[in-house]
């Protein structure tokens, strides 16, 4: 249990560093070589790009939620979310499918908001989803620790 908390603490420490680095780049402290010459309007619609920090954080939060949920299931708890219950009753494969759907729906919502001219709302949607998944993981850890003391 201590190794899990240490791993999570290091994980969030490193991502905090990446967020700070992204903030420095966004504020103009980046060298001129790091800026891109093409504007976003010149990009092709389906051009592949590097995932942003918020996408990595979302993937990590969803993965942490999946791991803690499966650990709670192993101890005998049950899912209360009616949308997740059919997936999670099928074990790890169902959990992976539900996690992929969560990640995909968030990216679709962000894409729709961005393409319709609401970039601030898209950023807030990502932040809220990351906060939601992180909160679910923390709740799972607290429930696991209090319900099943070692």
Q: What is the tens place of the pLDDT at every residue in 41-70?
A: 555 555 556 778 888 999 999 999 999 988
Residue 122 lies in a domain: yes
Residue 3 lies in a domain: no
Q: How far apart are CA 116 and CA 110, in angstroms?
A: 10
Residue 144 lies in a domain: yes
Residue 94 lies in a domain: yes
Q: Taking a C-beta distance cutoff of 8 angstroms, is the pair 106, 58 a contact?
A: yes
Residue 100 lies in a domain: yes
Q: DSSP label at 52?
A: P
Residue whose pair of structure tokens reads 């619609």 in the numeric block: 45
User: How many domains, in total, are found in the chain?
Assistant: 1
Q: Taking a C-beta distance cutoff of 8 angstroms, is the pair 35, 108 a contact?
A: no
pLDDT value for 124: 93
Q: Taking a C-beta distance cutoff of 8 angstroms, is the pair 62, 126 a contact?
A: no
Supply the range of the domain harboring residue 70: 59-74+88-150
Residue 93 lies in a domain: yes
Residue 65 lies in a domain: yes
Stretch (H or E) spanning 5:
helix 2-24
Q: What is the tens place of the pLDDT at every residue in 101-136?
A: 999 999 999 999 999 999 999 999 999 999 999 998
């Amino acid at each position: 249990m201590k190794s899990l908390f240490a791993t999570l603490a290091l994980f969030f420490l490193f991502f905090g560093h990446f967020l700070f680095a992204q903030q420095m780049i966004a504020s103009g402290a980046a060298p001129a070589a790091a800026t891109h010459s093409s504007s976003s309007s010149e990009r092709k619609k389906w051009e592949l790009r590097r995932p942003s920090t918020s996408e990595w954080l979302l993937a990590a939060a969803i993965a942490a939620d999946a791991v803690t949920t499966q650990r709670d299931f192993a101890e005998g708890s049950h899912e209360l979310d009616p949308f997740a219950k059919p997936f999670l009753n099928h074990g790890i494969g169902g959990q992976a499918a539900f996690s992929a759907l969560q990640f995909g729906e968030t990216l679709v919502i962000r894409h729709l908001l961005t393409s319709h001219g609401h970039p601030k709302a898209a950023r807030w949607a990502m932040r809220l989803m990351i906060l939601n998944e992180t909160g679910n993981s923390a709740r799972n850890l607290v429930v696991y620790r209090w319900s099943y003391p070692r």
